[in-house]
Structure 1
Amino acid sequence: MKASRRAVPEDARPGTVVAARSAIVALTTAFLSATGLLALLAGRVARRVVTPAARGTDTTIVDVDTTAQTITLSHSADTVLPGRYGLFTTGTQSYVKVGTVLTARADSVTRKLLTQIDETDRLTSAAAFSGWYFAEPGELHLPFEDVSIPTALGSCPAWLFPAPAVTDVWAIHIHGRGTTRAETLRGVPVFHAAGITSVLASYRNDGDAPRSRGGASALGATEWRDIDRAIGYARRAGARRIVLVGWSMGGAIALQLALNSAHRDLIVALVLDSPVVDWRQVLEHHAGLSGIPKPLTRAALEALTKRWAAPLTGAADPIPWDRLDLLSHAGALVAPILILHSEDDDFVPIGASRALRDRRPDLVDLEEFDGARHTKLWNYDEQRWTSRVRDWLVARGLSGGGASDS
């Protein structure tokens, strides 16, 4: 009897098996390549987030009239704003101040110069429009001292503006990402007039303070520790009530301090200008404006939470998004908060500030501007900004100087 032969299935024939294996290898290679490409792109996006921002140019100087003391700039949403601003320049002047808009055309804006420019000055066309206005502490014409705040990374320089009389109320002013303590100078006069001593602090990687390992920004997740040392400095000098004043990322740092500071018992109020309340919302907003696909944005944000991804992202330490989301921790806040934010802020949208107000209406007052842009509310309407801060401080018994009875 002949042994029966079982038919070989068509898909198990040698040629087919080889072809199938080749297809699997090809698909696997393609998948890994696509995954690798996504990881590479996500890493690049993530690296942008934590790389300390450098000041770029966003404005062109079209003309300077030294007789009329006017300057003509390219037209943009910033250069057409009413109010007083600064302009970072190169040439014989590194920074000039500009005032009233005199004429606005489709492609240019002419403003009054508030810094004297003469015929011998030469300015290049590239410039950066700024809300700082004051560039140096001496411009406030108030007594101040250069002081150093000891931190784990070394000494962080700061400016100290003593109150007119001895007081136990101190304000710690915290600048934003990619800027320096000079950004906060415009906020000092209202606190000085209220009888409050001010410390304008620096923190790691801001160009004034020491550099951390890797030099990457942690978006406030580690920077708050340097500012906590500034609070400790104030405490040792007699401060018993601390007001935190944060601008943009400085607002995120102030909120971290309100939750985590070793001196939390002294923090009695927060004044926040255009604050970052939830970084994920801000970064997703910018990714959308840049046309970055949502899956890539999510991959980049996820990569920043992983220690193993550090060589790809440039982050020295994982970014704790949940801890930086103050909406999730709103219930833990205890100090009253004044937020000043503009509906037209296209850099840090106002939505998260509104959400924080809605979650803690017992603590949070939100002063909404319209027309002003990111951290330019003081510039846009100085009288309104100043009076709102002053009245809020008075209502909380923080104005007038002197020591508390407690």
Structure 2
Amino acid sequence: MKIVDAKVIVTCPGRNFVTIKIITEDGIYGIGDATLNGRELAVASYLADHLIPCLIGRDAGQIEDIWQFFYRGAYWRGGPVGMTALAAIDVALWDIKAKAANMPLYQLLGGRSRSGVMVYGHANGNTVEETVEEVGRYIDMGYKAIRAQTGVPGLASTYGVSKDKLFYEPADADLPTENEWDTARYLEHVPTLFRTLRDTYGYDRHLLHDVHHRLTPIEAGRLGKDLEPFRLFWLEDAVSAELQEGFRLIRQHTTTPLAVGEVFASIHNCHQLITEQLIDYIRTTIVHGGGISHIRRIAHLAELYHVRTGFHGATDLSPITMGAALHFDTWVPNFGIQEYMRHTPETDEVFPHDYTFEDGYLIVGDTPGHGVDINEELAAKYEYERAYLPVNRLSDGTMFNW
């Protein structure tokens, strides 16, 4: 299956997506997601100018060799731009191989380990009362697991709280929006949210919360301890994880399960966290972690240390990544949960797919490949629009983690 053509498609059906399409001499094509929120064109250029020229003429079936060629062959290896581009190629090649075998991708990986993939949705509100109401709406929709975020009194805006409650998009401006952050107010307020949620709905549903890298390890330990009575499914991204050993301090102070890794680009970013059992869920996503070939290595390492997968699944990942992730989730033995933020109808029209939501689970179809396609004619109607994620400052003006 010689590769005869490949191209990059940039489209913006409400938000920007980058897609690679790889075509073989047999007429079989595969598509991969190359979206990196706020840096989309950097990945598009890396693919078009540096990787695609090296793809033409290669055997599309040699997925591992191609992965190693682009990883080991790049002296300046790794990083979010490079690994996102490599992931796009890798997923497209797995799509081709599964189509050539006339089987859904999960069968090529090893078959089903479960009938459906439990997912969690995002409930949020400006106040505790609004968030409680939104959680109830997700329960009514059938979700068994719900992430809950609320506004913090005294702050004009808070991560995870949006006007649109179903299609949250944080990249909100042509230049970065500057938000204000106050750790003390946040730490005081969050336990109130989860106490109210448990008083209202009991313990029949899983509840999750995302800190978004805004605490120090000792602050995270305090929050985790304060939340223990409410039995969270996980506390996500409590601290910035560049200092992996910082999680040791958190572990000393709380038994609340910890999840991290959506910004990781390789197994090296999470090696210590996994081997020292400092986390419970690894969230590195297929699109930013080098594709199926590399994420599979992370999952196997995690399995040895009782760490489960909990892939990132926000709206800045196209349905291609969601489709590939669901096939991976359906197979991987140490699956934990899958984030699921619904895409807009415009996005779903550009990327038709065969996965469906049923009673708190996403179910993959049996279409050969990863089950997601792209309508190129429709995609061409949505031109790229520059958009940045916000930035954060403390009340005294100091730059902080967003």
Q: Same fold (TM over 0.5)?
A: no
From the two aligned structures, give the one with the greater strand fraction: 1
TM-score (norm 1): 0.32
Rg comparison, structure with higher value: 1
TM-score by length of 2: 0.32
Structure of higher RCO (CA pairs closer than 8 Å, 6+ residues apart): 2
